[in-house]
A = this chain, B = another copy of it.
Amino acid sequence: MDRRIGAISPPGRLADPAEGIGSEELALATRNHGMPLESLRYDLTPPGLHYVLVHYDIPAADANTWALTLCGRVRTPLTLDMAALRSFTAVTHRVTMECAGNGRALLMPRPVSQPWLVEGVGTAEWTGVPLRTLLAECGVAPGSVEVVFTGADHGLERGVEQDYQRSLPLEVATGRDPEVVVAYAMNGAPLPPQHGHPLRLVVPGWYGMAHVKWLREITVVDTEFTGFQQHVAYRYRQTADDPGEPVTRIAPRSLMVPPGFPDFMSRTRVVRPGPQLLEGRAWSGRSPVVRVEVSTDGGRGWHDAELTERHGHAWAWRHWQAPWVATPGAHVLSVRATDAEGNSQPLKQSWNRGGFGNNVVQRVAVHCEAAGAPDDGDQDAADHLDSPARSHAGSPAPSPPRSRADS
């Protein structure tokens, strides 16, 4: 491909220290979306609130004509339409899915890509056929080592034109726990377009890049798959020359429902003085979360949160709660999860060049103040701030004075 492609398909890069989010990162951020953190209140993320990351375009897919091909090193190549797939015994798994790039925009220096803060997550129930069942049906040839999954989304990335493709080692593809699923339903309904309609892979415990959407081909191979999304993207590297380690399972993370209410622009939280129940969800794709700790003093002191029963959902997040008595002033709340293998979350960033797996502890800035607290009389402040009118429609408050800076 010629030199012009370089201009429209740039290599990966790091942002300069003072560089704000650019127009290309913004174009990704307005298409894709995270889960608003107040949605952590739901055990199962409602449709439309689950995070979405689409590498290229959402394909125009028709379930009536969709076909999945199983091929490569198999005894009997198969092509299955949706009715054929539904004829297998179905399984349903509740899975917390997280983008491997979640936390990327918090890194310094910032890798330029989809600029996630911490919202790139969601939990859904996925229904479909165990991949193991389909592989048994077509018969895997001896000597096979990996299974390659090809989606229908097509695009260009760092100069490489491609259909989205990822692989799994054969032992992961045929494993029983986690059980990899070829899924056709999300929360009991057909997959929405942005989640892979009509068919996607679900790999419980793995970051999102493994869950290939718009799945159209499953290929058994006898050599390591070296496609773009496996060997160029999605590796933990320190330098561009570093071969790096592959991105696989989800590192532990806990997030809290931000308490109180937000300021529109700064998103800073406002709470009233007094008892608060902090709550949220914690997960790890490596082993079960066994401990969640909360800090209400910016990370100096930590105390254990109460973990709610997980009701058998081994690959879904776990609810936690912790009491807090808010006192007037500024606070920074944090939470960290630890799993059964002892994996936990760092207090300082663990940087890599692709911006993957940044599970640094969440910091929630909270301003605690009594309702209708008296103005402190400072005229500089009063001059550019409106009074705390909580107007009731039945008796509209007078129009607040417009400040110099209002627009």
Instruction: Give chain A's interface residues, CB within 8 Å of chain B.
Output: 1-6, 8-14, 19-34, 36-39, 41, 46-50, 52, 54-58, 60, 71-72, 105, 111-113, 115-117, 119-120, 148-150, 154-163, 165, 192-195, 217, 219, 221, 223, 225-228, 231-232, 237, 240-241, 243, 258, 261-268, 270, 330, 353-354, 365, 367, 369, 373-376, 378, 380-381, 384-394, 396-400, 402-407
Contacts A20-B21, A160-B389; A8 near B117 (Cβ below 8 A) = no
Question: Are A9 and B159 touching (Cβ within 8 A)?
Answer: no
Instruction: Report whether A386 and B36 are in contact in the complex, using a CB–CB cutoff of 8 Å.
Output: no
Residues of B within 8 A of A115 (CB): 26, 30
**Structural contact, A267 and B20, CB atoms closer than 8 A:** no
Instruction: Pull 6 A–B residue pairs with CB atoms less than 8 Å apart, ordered by A.
Output: A6-B384, A8-B268, A9-B385, A11-B406, A47-B47, A240-B402
Chain B residues with Cβ below 8 Å from A29 are 26, 29-30
Instruction: Check if A8 sits within 8 Å of B406, measured CB to CB.
Output: no
Assembled-state Cα–Cα distance A107/B402 (Å): 23
A19, A394, A397: most-surrounded residue (chain B CB, <10 A): A394
Q: Told that A29-B30, A158-B406 touch, could you supply 19 new A-B pairs with CB distance under 8 A?
A: A1-B375, A5-B367, A9-B385, A11-B406, A21-B25, A24-B265, A31-B33, A39-B58, A46-B192, A149-B393, A150-B392, A150-B393, A155-B262, A155-B263, A158-B264, A225-B393, A227-B393, A227-B397, A241-B402
Given A26-B21, A58-B39, also A263-B8 (CB < 8 A): yes
> What residues of chain B lie closer than 8 Å to A386, measured between beta carbons?
158-160, 228, 232
Specify which chain B residues have a CB less than 8 angstroms from the CB of A381 in the assembled complex. 2-3, 6
Closest B residue by C-beta to A197: B46
Q: Which 5 A-B pairs have the closest CB atoms?
A: A20-B20, A33-B33, A11-B405, A353-B407, A226-B399
Residues of B within 8 A of A113 (CB): 265
**Roughly how many angstroms separate A218 CA and B3 CA in the complex, as a whole number?**
61
- Alpha-carbon distance A261/B264, docked complex (angstroms): 35
Contact between A30 and B406, CB atoms less than 8 A apart: no
Residues of B within 8 A of A14 (CB): 407
Q: How far is the CB of A296 from chain B (nearest CB, A)?
A: 18
Q: Are A156 and B396 in contact (CB-based, < 8 A)?
A: no
- Cβ contact within 8 Å between B385 and A227: no
Q: CB-nearest residue of chain B relative to A57?
A: B38
A200 to chain B, nearest CB (A): 14
